[in-house]
Amino acid sequence: MAFLGLYRMDSETEQTSYFKSGEAANGDLQRQAEQVGCEGTADCLSNGSHGNAQPEGTTTTTRDADFDADNHNGTKKRPRQRREMTLQDMYNQQADYDDDDDDDDSDWEPVQKHVVSEKWFCVNCTMVNFDDVVYCDICGEYKESGIVKHGFFAPNDAQEAAPAQVETVATSKGQESCEQKSALENFTAVGFDERMLLHSEVDMKSHPHPERPDRLRAIAASLATAGIFPGRCLSIPAREITQEELLPVHSLEHIEAVEITSCMLSSDFDISSLHLINSYFTPDTYANQHSACAARVAAGLCADLASAIMSGRTKNGFALVRPPGHHAGVGQSMGFCLHNNAAIAALAAQRSGAKKVLIVDWDVHHGNGTQEIFEGNKSVLYISLHRHEGGRFYPGTGAADEVGILGAEGYCVNVPWKCGGVGDNDYIFTFQHIVIPIALEFSPDITIISAGFDAARGDPLGCCDVTPTGYAQMTHMLSVLSGGKLLVVLEGGYNLRSISSSATAVVKVLLGESTGCELDRVVPSKAGMETVLEVLKIQKNFWPTLQASFAQLQSQWGSFPFQNRSACPF
């Protein structure tokens, strides 16, 4: 059985023992905290409220002359891995910046007194601020924001928010289930259960963990305030996934390692002091007594949504779930992820009759776990768009030349961005020239979106610039596949205002609302075009439909009117 590190933290002592979790990676979701791209904490976070700023050091060198695609030969030397900086390191570093007052000014003001300023953590982005400000220095959110209660509808000031249509978080209890509604093929189903809110970091370290229960609360509040859920969407009954359903995806050792966290209690040999503790698979991937149950519920909801869509009991679905899953591989939990929800949904769809499944992952981080699970499987096509930066952005995988193995080459399609600040134009352009052409040739029976919203404008970890309109448009483009059989599974996203507005925009598309976008001519950034050409050169060997697009874009390289990356296309 695989073991994991156990941490007990209190005001007096911190007892730590480390064990290795199978072959789990020692990485965490913060490789971007290294000194490249948006990983320089000060650079990234100082522009968090805009999300489109490009930190120094992120831009790769490009040529003004004709693009020589032959240099992208698909065989690249992997960069040497460096020591990874964890979330704890990032936040400690941020605190060092905030508290940096090493200069002794007593020579010019001998009576100056040291003023201690209290800190507060932003409810929207979790970043630290001082008490002398009422708006977050990072994301601009009001200190007493009501975003958790009202979602992105909450005003960003001291004004009271308008009463929500539904004041409480939507639960699966008391709502109509799929079995109680007629003509379900015309409805959108939502999977949610309050037990997933119990998965939390019990002992906060120096900073609130970004993967927190408020992520679901803010999205649920936004959907409720908009009258979408409950209201226009159906809920499905929640259940816990079984071990038999997990085994085709994860190893038994991995499943047992997650399950053993249910016993994480400490009593100091005194029943009166019994309390919860956290365990950690990696420095940033925690679990408490309720986490295993939350992970089983999340996986069960995703599996049942996929089955309901395939059987025609519902038109499409949105899985409002956590913990997220796309970093969880065959034998490891990492990157905040315990069980791979999208992979579990894909296999559930196949048990319900799907022969071919498409997974599109637009989370800002590469879904290394999903790729590992399916990289030798020709019945599941995995397409990921993510920051990569030569392997220096977490988790370091997902280069363009990672195309699949064991006869399934071409069934992994990686679109690795070279820098931060990537926005709607680059994503939509990539969908037009890579994602949709390949998907149409593959002709899936169901499409699953690993919908991380950490590439959204304002996200403190992703530092990209995708808007709710951009997410809505990508959802709309994918909805034409698979006869409309589409399941959206929540992954990352750590700015509450960004994820709640983006998720709401996506669900509105599932309900059939128009995006209101005109796509006559979407122009990418220069770095975005470089990435598209790199991927096309590799993938055209497996997908003939790409050859014409590659030749056309390559010929236009020298005269292409590239878009400023900070501009919004719509």
User: Which segments of 158-273 are extended strands (E)?
Assistant: 188-191, 234-235, 265-266
| Token reading at 235 | 């809920």
Task: Tell which residue, 292, 267, 285, has the closest CA to residue 277.
Answer: 267
Active site residue 327: yes
Q: Which amino acid is at 432?
A: Q
Length of the chain: 570
Please report how many Cα atoms fall inside a 13 Å half-sphere around the Cα of residue 54, on the Cβ side.
18
Max Cα–Cα distance, the chain, nearest Å: 80
| Residue partners of 119: CB distance under 8 A and separation at least 6 | 98, 128, 129, 130, 131
Instruction: Write down the H helix ranges in 226-283.
Output: 243-246, 252-259
DSSP state of 464: B
CA 516, 522, 528, 534 torsion: positive or negative?
positive
Pick from 134, 321, 339: which is nearest to 213 by CA? 321
Write the CB contacts of 114 (distance below 8 Å, at least 6 apart in sequence).
Answer: none
Rounded to a whole number of angstroms, the CA Rg of the chain reads 23
| Residue 11 buriedness (CB in 10 A; 0-12 / 13-18 / 19+) | exposed
Using alpha carbons, select from 507, 511, 434 the residue that is nearest to residue 471: 507
Is the Cβ–Cβ distance between 374 and 501 less than 8 Å?
A: no
Element (H, E) at 370: helix 368-374
Q: Which of 56, 323, 373 is nearest to 209 (CA)?
A: 323
Catalytic residue among 199, 327, 339, 386: 327
Q: Catalytic residue positions?
A: 327
